[in-house]
Amino acid sequence: MSGICMVIQSSVTAVHLRNMEHFITAVTHLEDSNPGLSPLALVTSLRKIADQSHNITHDFVGSSDTKVDIHNKNNSFITEQLNINHSLSNFLNKITHHFITDDHEESGVVLTPDGTTVALAPLLLGLEYGLKANKDNNQPHGFYLLPLAKYLGMSFLHATTERLGPNGCWDSVSAPMVFTLSGVPSLATDALVHGGMDGAILGKHLSVVNCSEENLSTLLRSYYLETMEELDHVSDTHLRGRYRRQNFKKITNTSLLREKVAEALHSHQGDTGVESLIEKGMEEVVLHYMECPAIIPRCIWGAAPPTVPHNPLSPPLQFLYIHHTASPSKPCRNLQTCSKNMRSMQRFHQKDRGWYDIGYSFVVGSDGYIYEGRGWMSVGAHTKGRNTVGYGVAFIGNYSARLPSKHDMELLRHHLVKCGVSRGFLQKNFTILGHRQVVATTTCPGDSLYSEITTWEHYKDTDPLK
């Protein structure tokens, strides 16, 4: 951590990485340099840097900066009101202020250690809402959803093609500086939605705790930086970023979020056309962020390009074939290890097997995420003779004598398959089979895992194609 501090406190010309560790270190530095500063005052100062002075922010937070030069005023405010050097002020301005360039580069976002990209503006707004509600002893119904509702509402209202997304790629995972979206951006990119979900979860928490005993940097550090090994000793994971989708579902429902989106668009309430846009948009939100699992894109885990163009599939497909990797034999517990395993598998499949790309459609890590292989739209190389009729999903590890964690299995069993059906990739009456049921020369996916999948819905004990 001291090395990061040295970077942040160094000269203006220093390179400041766009990752969550550097941002949290900056927050820690502000807390240490301003010991009398309340969490609310600190978050408000940071939010003023990120604030784009939208009217919705003004309505709910009371921003007084709606008709001034936000960039100059906020830089002046934070340097005058806080004990902060120019280098740190410049870093915070660059890392929190959200905008998208003509080249589809998304600024104001950071890479978290688990591979998720998060926009800081909605996160800070959610923290501020929670702290302000706590201070005022006033917690309007679902107030913590307003930061997310702000972005969703504007995106639904002004969408030209897509209402949500897309995700994107960093120029470097180890030293991230530039995040480029994979397509035409909506007004609610994945990073903005992630930040809004995190802001809702943490804001709701801050609204009810004793804020005088709550250290902001400590809260952010435990939410974003704790490893799976550390989480093994945590009984309650409701304040952990890698579980944001499950935890977000616990604090909201579609009708409440829909209500807050309509509230954010208060000037259009009663407009039947807008109500229809909200309804369609909410269907996509539920599908993409509340039903589908978080999938680590190929560009995050460092995939080598395929040796030839992908062979497209024609979904929906009938089968889902379950595998284990056997080698690597141990579950991967973090992005670094899982990414290394993915690259190793891809090299083996390309160089030793002669395939043009990694064979699996998806791979389940033990770090709370699913990793993208060939994905939904490309023919895989996972189950001999059946690659055009089904998807192959592998669990990293050897599961001959043990099972993957319950959470890992639920990612596939209850989330990935539902996502596949909802998005039209899997048939509604799809069939789950173990690799061994199709290829007689293998024991894959291991005795323990195979025994487990025989209890799953959609499993069949005989291969329908034999």
Q: pLDDT tens across 311-369, in order?
A: 999 999 999 999 999 999 999 999 999 999 999 999 999 999 999 999 999 999 999 99
Q: What is the pLDDT of residues 221-246, one digit of tens each?
A: 999 998 888 888 887 888 999 999 99
| Residue 452: φ, ψ to 5° | -65, -45
Location of structure tokens 């579902």: 249
**pLDDT for 245-264, tens place per residue?**
999 999 999 999 999 999 99
What pLDDT is recorded for position 155? 96
Residue ranges, comma separated, of all CATH 3.40.80.10 domains in the chain are 299-453
Is pLDDT above 60 for 5? no
Using CA atoms, how far apart are residues 364 and 231, in angstroms rounded to an integer?
Answer: 18
Query: Average pLDDT of the chain?
Result: 89
Task: Report, in angstroms and rounded to the nearest whole number, the Rg of the chain calculated over CA atoms.
Answer: 23
Residues 6+ apart with CB under 8 A from 180: 103, 104, 105, 106, 168, 169, 171
Using CB atoms within 10 Å of the CB of residue 398, give its burial: 0 to 12 exposed, 13 to 18 middle, 19+ buried: buried
Q: What is the mean pLDDT of residues 33-57?
A: 79
Question: Residue 30, class by beta-carbon neighbours within 10 Å (0-12 exposed, 13-18 middle, 19+ buried)?
Answer: buried
Judge whether 18 and 177 are in contact, CB under 8 Å.
Answer: yes
**When comparing pLDDT for 72 and 459, which is higher?**
459
**pLDDT for res 42:** 94
Question: Is residue 423 a contact partner of residue 303, using CB atoms and an 8 Å limit?
Answer: no
Q: Strands 390-395 and 117-119, how do they pair? A: unpaired
Q: Answer yes or no: is pLDDT of 73 > 80.
A: no
Question: For residues 326 and 445, what is the distance between their CA atoms, to the nearest angstrom?
Answer: 8
| CATH H superfamily, domain 299-453 | Peptidoglycan recognition protein-like (3.40.80.10)
Residue 52 pLDDT > 60: no
25 CB neighbour count, 10 Å cutoff:
23
Residue the block writes with tokens 């934070």: 78
pLDDT of residue 353: 96
Q: Model-level pTM?
A: 0.90
Q: Which amino acid is at 93?
A: N
Tokens of 382: 């996972």
Positive or negative torsion for Cα 406, 411, 415, 416? negative
433 vs 271, more confident? 433
Percent helix, strand and coil across the chain, each to the nearest 5: 50, 10, 40
Q: Which residues contact 233 (CB under 8 A, 6 or more apart)?
A: none
> What's the pLDDT score for residue 69?
41
161-175 mean pLDDT: 94
Distance, in Å, from the CA atom of 31 to the CA atom of 27, rounded to the nearest integer, reads: 6
